[in-house]
């Protein structure tokens, strides 16, 4: 611990003496206070370091060397309140960091002299073959990041043949997204307090052709999105066209918010019929109720324990998303990838398992697949691409991740996604 403290002090002294930081008006004392402070303080410190050390931003998708090159471009183009909605976690955002750090708990075991000339990166989910196991996860209000929103993402998914999962709080209808995708998308469900309305949304998605409904359970209790609210304070726009009261507040709560649904087609036209109020928050019987309501396969999103994976099986789920909502649900400080092995062991092949949370590299995808995931999802990264360059940016992000996955597959001597196993990992 003493050595770590000494290294930190040396690092701060080095940064404080940099002419780049002095020119930017950042003094050493302020930087030291941030780096030695809370998780949020440290995040601010490294944001400053990124800003100062960034020589230039890419001007086209083709210039990107990795997906991180899109983040500063997106931040510059997306309004502050919308950016806060995208980047926020819960409390001090510690679980966002934990998700990233989790992948470092495993190292790779490369194998040599394997003929990988016929590399197969495809994955089959619910009988449909996709070019890779990389899933475009549901993320709401995408027109807050680019004028074409979910349509641009759907067209990118079509171009690269990726599974797309559409959010309940999307700013584009499921019918229009499926038309742009040219194939069915899965539909993510936030329940409402009125079963009549929830049932109507489920039946609408089914009628549109969605093969799966993904019931999200990790935000039922809400979340404390401090970063989102702090960023919104920096947004001085008046946004009466989108938000009641004119204050730019996308994703006001961690749950479905009924105050202003003009930009949410799933809620914009309430279903006819008398309300059927819920008696309380959903329990596991709710999963069975969904299953009995629709012909779509039912997935449960937000599972982090083997006990809940077993309950999902018992109540009729066809699959689960091992997910903590990208660190924006609860502040568990536990990476989703750390939860995965025990869940896979419990499931014993009885569930389709998707893993998301902190995925930023091809090596992350490979590790999740090796630990037993059938598919691996991304959220914020494709929005960096969307906010930067629209459809082209999303396509570039997906292409970079696929290229990185292909490289690590070749280096480890795995010729297909199905051949990736725990034998290619070592615990650190």
Would you please indicate which residues are annotated as catalytic (active-site) residues? 325
62-69 long-range contacts, Cβ below 8 Å, gap at least 24?
A: 62/396, 64/396, 64/400, 66/361, 66/400, 66/404, 67/360, 67/381, 67/384, 67/385, 67/397, 67/400, 67/401, 68/360
SS3 (DSSP) at 159:
helix
Largest CA distance in the chain: 68
- CA dist., res. 91 & res. 234, Å (int): 19
Distances (CA, A) of 14 to 8, 10, 20, 196: 10, 6, 11, 61
CB 78 within 8 A of CB 145: yes
What length is written for the chain? 428
- CA dist., res. 263 & res. 383, Å (int): 18
- CA dist., res. 238 & res. 224, Å (int): 24
- Please provide the DSSP assignment of 67-108 as one string: GGGHHHHHHHHS-HHHHHHHH--STTSHHHHHHHHHGGGEEE
Comparing C-alpha atoms, which of 56, 48, 61 is closest to residue 16?
48
Burial of 120 (0-12, 13-18, 19+ CB in 10 A): middle
In the beta sheet, which residues pair with residue 320? 300, 353
């Amino acid at each position: 611990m003493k050595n770590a403290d000494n290294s930190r002090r040396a690092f701060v002294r080095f940064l404080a003496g940099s002419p780049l930081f002095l020119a930017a008006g950042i003094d050493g004392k302020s930087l030291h206070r941030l780096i030695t402070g809370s998780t949020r303080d440290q995040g601010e410190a490294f944001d400053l370091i990124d800003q100062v050390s960034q020589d230039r931003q890419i001007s086209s998708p083709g210039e990107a060397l990795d997906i991180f090159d899109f983040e500063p471009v997106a931040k510059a183009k997306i309004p502050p309140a919308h950016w806060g909605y995208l980047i926020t976690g819960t409390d001090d955002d510690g679980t966002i960091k934990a998700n990233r750090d989790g992948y470092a708990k495993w190292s790779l075991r490369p194998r040599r002299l394997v003929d990988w000339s016929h590399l197969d990166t495809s994955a089959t989910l619910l009988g449909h073959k996709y070019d890779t196991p990389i899933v475009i996860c549901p993320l709401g209000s995408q027109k807050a990041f680019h004028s074409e929103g979910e349509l641009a993402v759907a067209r990118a998914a079509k171009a690269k043949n990726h599974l797309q999962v559409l959010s309940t709080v999307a700013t584009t209808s499921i019918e229009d997204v499926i038309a742009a995708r040219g194939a069915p998308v899965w539909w993510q469900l936030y329940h409402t307090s009125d079963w009549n309305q929830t049932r109507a949304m489920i039946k609408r998605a089914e009628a549109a052709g969605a093969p799966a409904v993904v019931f999200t359970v990790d935000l039922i209790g809400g979340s404390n999105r401090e970063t989102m609210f702090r960023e919104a304070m920096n947004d001085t726009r008046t946004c009466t066209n989108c938000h009641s009261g004119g204050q730019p507040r996308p994703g006001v709560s961690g749950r479905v918010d009924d105050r202003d649904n003009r930009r949410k087609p799933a809620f914009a036209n309430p279903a006819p019929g008398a309300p059927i109020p819920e008696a309380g928050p959903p329990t596991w019987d709710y999963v069975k109720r969904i299953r009995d309501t629709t012909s779509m396969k039912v997935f449960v999103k937000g599972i982090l324990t083997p006990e809940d994976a077993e309950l999902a099986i018992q109540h009729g789920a066809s699959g689960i998303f091992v997910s903590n909502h990208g660190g924006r649900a609860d502040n568990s400080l536990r990476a989703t990838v750390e939860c995965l092995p025990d869940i896979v062991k419990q499931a014993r092949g009885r569930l389709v398992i998707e893993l998301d949370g902190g995925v930023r590299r091809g090596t992350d995808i490979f590790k999740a697949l090796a630990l037993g995931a059938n598919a691996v999802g991304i959220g914020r990264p494709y929005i960096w691409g969307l906010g930067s360059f629209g459809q082209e940016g999303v396509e570039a992000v997906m292409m970079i991740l696929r290229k990185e996955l292909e490289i690590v597959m070749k280096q480890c001597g795995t010729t297909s996604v199905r051949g990736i196993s725990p034998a290619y990992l070592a615990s650190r």
